[in-house]
Amino acid sequence: MNALGISRLLAQPWFYASAGAILVWLVIVGHSQGAGGGAVISAALNYSVFFAVVGLGQMLVMASGAGNIDLSIPANITLAAYLSTGQMVGSDSGLVAGFVAGLAGGIAIGAANALLILAFRIPPMVATLASGLVVESFTFVYSRISVAKPSPLLADFTTERFAGVPYVTLAAIFASVALIVVLRRSLFGRSLFACGQNETAAWLSGVNVRRTRVAAYVLCGAFTSLAGILFAGFTGGPSLNMGSEFLLSSIAVVVIGGTNVAGGQASVLGTWSASLFLFLLLSMLNVLQVGPGLRNVITGVLIIAVLALNKTNRMQLV
Amino acid sequence: MIAMSNQEPSAASVGATLNALGVKQFGLSFIALALILVIVFWLRPNVASYNGLRLLLNLSPVLVFTALAQMFVMTAGDIDLGIGPFVGLVNCIVAGLLNDQPALAILMLAGCAVAYSLMAALIHWRQLPSIVVTLGSSFVWLGLALMVLPLPGGNVPAWLTSFVRLHPPLVPLPIILALVPMVLAHLVLNKMSYGVVLRGIGGSLSAVERAGRSTLKARMTLYALAGVCGLLAGTCLAGVTTTGDANVGRGLTLLSIGAVIIGGGEFVGGIVSPIGTVLGALIMQLSGSLLSFASVAPAWQYSVQGGILLVILALRVVSWRRLRP
């Protein structure tokens, strides 16, 4: 590969996350003298799919403009997990009703966020933080009156594998390819990036800025609740604090994946790579028997390092 | 200042109007706090006494200092997602080391404040978004806290626990610990001449640069102030709870952002109010007590906290609509 090719590769938003994931995987395989490399990838694909799906939702919101962010994600995940498994009650007959209930909850949260932000002009960070708090209350009350148990089919779907790749991951990869096409080719995708790059310019050229932002938040709500439903199946049932680890990691995977925090640009592949990178990093530190304290320190330093290296994340505003 | 108003006349004039309406900036939160206090006193008349207030506001200095830390970062137009875990780290150092190895502990605490300032330098040099740098550093703070104190516990120095139990005449200690930092922060940001530079970098970086001031130095100063407030928050927390816990700060980050915004702060930078921030912190702190006094089930506490946040902001937007660009 010539110098131009390399510099073009380095400029790709997803490059650093992918390179990091491969590097970490090589360390794991090297440490175990070449054994279990496939199993590690298989586990990573299974676990990181939930973070990738949530990250893709967060990515759409962040790409829609500077300051846009969804902090109601943890509450959304937990609510969707309880609503869906509450309909399933451990049997496959409630599977469809469960998905409908969970997704309806997530879409409602996304719509409420959009309403608060666009109609009441509350800053996204506070609006979604507050809506998350309200949702948490509802989940808490609902969790006490419902019997939450995922259907066997859902549990199998999230854990069984086809040629080493979990079914849930295969489905998510297909959906992600569809998302890439939507972002690159569809009116919504072009409008989303236009809004993120310059709201006024987008509005002047006839883009419906409000409708595009509403769509971003609603899609984020839907993606997040979908991840919540699947995660409940994966873990064998919901718990009240199951969403908490998704708050910071949803932001981390988006940004490490090369999506610009200032909006206007996004990378589906990068978000996936970053999800794999974070999971593999955690596995590597586990394999190397690093204690929980040092593990967190290394994770934090690497997040900052990847960010400092990646040129796409420079602030374009201010 | 002249350079700034030449830079962006419309933004500057709106900013000037807002500053002139300093009271309006936190007026709503003042009314909200008064309302909450009246309801609390009405539900529990015993609270309206020296000791009642002292116990009611027992933990409020922690949120007051954390919110002020967040406010200093937001002055630069940045967001600190790591302040909660940072308070947790300080809490662990104070509880885990200060009593047995005071020299090492003080060195580490000083290092923490310096680290905050270095974070500002990194953000400045590499032009990184603060939200992600502080997100990354939140993992570092949590990790360091776990290394200092792997399990909750520790041994808080006796002088600290007796300090938080002090009974100053007339005014309970938590109220002093809210008023003093409030006045100091107000003096630094709104009365000192350097405060103009500090708020200026949130308003317009290029204007401050053209005025011949170092934006790097200003941002590092703001972050150092935030670090010091974080140190005070963690120390107060250790004094009140008499233990250290690495995970204690998890919820503090979002509460601190809420407090700054309720107090009239804005995400765009440059527009913050130390008085409003302290009021906001007290509102967030007291809304929890209010609900338990009103026998509201704990499950709904989050809901009402979120609701208060939304109502205050929605009201403010309605009353400000004409002023907003």
- Tell me, what CATH number does B247's domain have? 1.10.3470
The residue of B309, B321, B322 whose CB has the most chain A CBs within 10 angstroms, and thus the best one to mutate to test that interface, is: B309
Total residues belonging to chain B: 325
pLDDT at residue number A316: 41
Can you tell me the mean pLDDT for B181-201?
90
CB atoms within 10 A of CB A317: 11
**Structure tokens that stand for B255 in this block:** 């509460």
**Residues of chain B positioned with their CB less than 8 A from the CB of A121:** 317, 324
- Please give the pLDDT value at position B12: 56
- Residues B136-183 pLDDT 10s: 899 999 999 999 999 998 889 999 989 988 888 888 999 999 999 999
What is the distance between the alpha carbons of residues A83 and A144, in angstroms, rounded to a whole number? 12
Give this complex's ipTM: 0.81
**Residues A192, A208: Cα–Cα separation, whole Å:** 10
**Around Cβ B32, how many Cβ atoms within 10 Å?**
22
Per-residue DSSP letter, B267 = T
Model pLDDT, residue B71: 95
Long-range contacts of range A117-121, CB-CB < 8 Å, 24 or more positions apart?
A: A117/A68, A117/A213, A117/A217, A118/A210, A118/A213, A118/A214, A120/B310, A120/B313, A120/B314, A120/B317, A121/B317, A121/B324
Q: Which of B108, B74, B79 is nearest to B235 (CA)?
A: B108
In a domain, B15, yes or no: no
Q: Does A316 touch chain B (CB under 8 A)?
A: no
Residue B21 lies in a domain: no
Question: Is residue B208 in some structural domain?
Answer: yes
* pLDDT given at position A261: 80
Which has more pLDDT, A1 or B97? B97
**pLDDT of residue B9 exceeding 50:** no
For residue B241, pLDDT beyond 60:
yes
Interface contact B258-A120, CB threshold 8 A: no
* Helix (H) or strand (E) segment spanning residue A161: strand A161-162
| Cβ contact A195:A213 at 8 Å | yes
The two structure tokens encoding residue B252: 């503090």
Q: How confident is the model at residue B324 (pLDDT cuts 50, 70, 90)?
A: very low
pLDDT reading at B7 higher than 60: no
**Residues in chain A closer than 8 A to B89 (CB atoms):** none
| A294 with B306: Cβ contact below 8 A | no
Distance between B134 CA and the closest CA of chain A, angstroms? 9
Tell me, yes or no, if A290 comes closer than 8 A to chain B by beta carbon.
Answer: no
Q: Do B147 and A122 touch (CB under 8 A)?
A: no
Task: Give the model confidence (pLDDT) of B248-280 as tens digits.
Answer: 887 788 889 889 988 888 877 778 889 999 999
Residue B10: what pLDDT? 54
The answer to which of A219-228, B55-64, B201-210 has the lowest mean pLDDT is: B201-210
The shortest C-alpha distance from B318 to chain A (Å) reads 8
Quick one: average pLDDT of B227-241? 95
Strand, helix or coil at A294? helix
pLDDT at B190 over 60: yes
The answer to whether position B18 is within a domain reads: no
Residue B153 backbone phi and psi in degrees, to 5: 155, -135
SS3 B248: coil
Q: Residue B297 belongs to what H/E stretch?
A: none
pLDDT at position B1: 36
* pLDDT tens for each residue of B110-139: 999 999 999 999 998 888 888 889 988 999
Inside any domain, residue B184:
yes
Min distance B162 CA to chain A CA atoms (Å): 31
Which A residues 64-83 touch B at CB under 8 Å? 67, 69, 71
- Beta-carbon separation of B307 and A130 below 8 A: yes
First to last CA, chain A: 37
In the predicted structure, residue B14 carries a pLDDT above the cut 60: no
Structural contact between residues A13 and A257, judged by C-beta atoms closer than 8 angstroms: yes
pLDDT at B23 (0 to 100): 57
- Residue B232's domain comprises 28-323
Residue-level pLDDT at A109: 97
How many structural domains are present in chain B? 1
What integer pLDDT is reported at residue A1 of this predicted model? Answer: 53
Going by C-alpha positions, the residue among B324, B284, B266 that lies closest to residue B78 is: B266
The rounded distance, in Å, linking the Cα atoms of B206 and B210 is: 6
Answer yes or no: is B58 within a domain.
yes
Domain-located, residue B98: yes
Q: Write the residue in A133, A298, A299 that is nearest to B302 by C-beta.
A: A133
Give the mean pLDDT per block of 10 residues along chain A (318 residues). Answer: 72 82 88 80 90 95 90 94 90 89 96 92 87 91 86 87 87 93 92 91 91 95 95 90 87 86 87 92 87 89 81 46
Q: How close does chain A come to B193, measured CA to CA in Å? A: 23
- Say what the pLDDT of residue B13 is: 59
> Does B19 reside within a domain?
no
DSSP summary character for residue A208: -
